[in-house]
């Protein structure tokens, strides 16, 4: 037994993350807990794993396959977890494993769910930072969202793409194409997308 209870809503995530690094049993509980049907256990497990993936990604990298399988899950929350963890693990991905799952990761754009598609977009600046060789492929995917995304809220997905592009744009190689895409969103049916397009053009 551990001194931590994952169903504690007041759990100290930072202390837990530190403990996990030296406690294999607790680590296994987190891996199981992130798939729990209990909201508190699931949330605590994810927050802890996310913090570890940010601060000690080398520790989680050996579990790449576990999160890769979650990426393929029909469960949207499992996908959500994998989207964040795998993006953070690209910082230590010396085996270039992300390149092998690129189409699985960005294939999420081709679904109908706004939640998962939006978080793929929001994690892309981090991926480009760690994998600059993928910049052109990622931006190309963004700019072709009209033909890729199958959901009814495509215009809303574009808002998250623009939010990501605001971070990517300063060092991007395809500035003209990005600018053209964003300008075309000033007439979007989504107020959020129109606002972010306007914001992008004001600051970039």
Provide the pLDDT for residue 204: 85
Domain assignment present for residue 198? The answer is yes
Residues listed for the chain? 204
* CA–centroid distance for 4 within its chain: 27
Provide the pLDDT for residue 105: 98
What are the CA-CA distances from residue 119 to residues 83, 116, 160 (Å)?
7, 5, 8
Residue 89 and residue 19 share a domain:
yes
Residue 123 and residue 194 share a domain:
yes
Provide the pLDDT for residue 162: 98
Can you read off the two tokens belonging to residue 65?
A: 């396959």
Mean pLDDT of successive 10-residue segments in the chain (204 residues)?
A: 80 96 96 97 98 98 98 96 98 97 97 96 98 97 96 96 97 95 97 97 92
Residue 56 and residue 141 share a domain:
no
Which residues, 6+ apart, have CB-to-CB distance to 86 below 8 Å? Answer: 64, 67, 68, 71, 98, 101, 105
Residue whose pair of structure tokens reads 């053209």 in the numeric block: 180
How far apart are alpha carbons 150 and 132 in whole angstroms? Answer: 28
With 0.85 as the threshold, say if the pTM is over it.
yes
Residue 32 and residue 89 share a domain:
yes
Can you read off the two tokens belonging to residue 117?
A: 């598609």
Residues of the domain holding 17:
1-98
What DSSP string runs through 70-107?
A: HHT-S-HHHHHHHHHHHHHHGGG-TT-HHHHTHHHHHG
């Amino acid at each position: 037994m551990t001194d931590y209870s994952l169903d504690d809503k007041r759990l100290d995530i930072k202390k837990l993350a530190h403990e996990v690094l030296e406690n294999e049993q607790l680590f296994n509980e987190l891996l199981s807990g992130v798939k729990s049907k209990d909201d508190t256990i699931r949330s605590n497990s994810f927050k802890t794993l996310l913090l570890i993936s940010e601060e000690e990604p080398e520790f989680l990298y050996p579990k790449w396959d576990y999160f890769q399988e979650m990426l393929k899950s029909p469960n949207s929350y499992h996908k959500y977890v994998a989207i964040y963890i795998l993006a953070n693990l690209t910082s230590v991905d010396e085996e270039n494993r992300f390149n092998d799952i690129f189409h699985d990761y960005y294939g999420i754009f081709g679904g109908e769910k706004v939640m998962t598609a939006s978080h793929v977009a929001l994690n892309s600046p981090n991926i480009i930072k760690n994998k600059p060789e993928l910049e052109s492929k990622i931006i190309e995917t963004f700019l072709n969202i009209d033909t890729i995304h199958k959901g009814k809220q495509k215009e809303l997905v574009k808002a998250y793409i623009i939010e990501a592009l605001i971070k990517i744009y300063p060092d991007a190689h395809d500035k003209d194409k990005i600018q053209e895409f964003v300008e075309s969103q000033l007439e979007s049916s989504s107020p959020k997308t129109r606002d972010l397009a306007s914001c992008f053009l004001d600051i970039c």
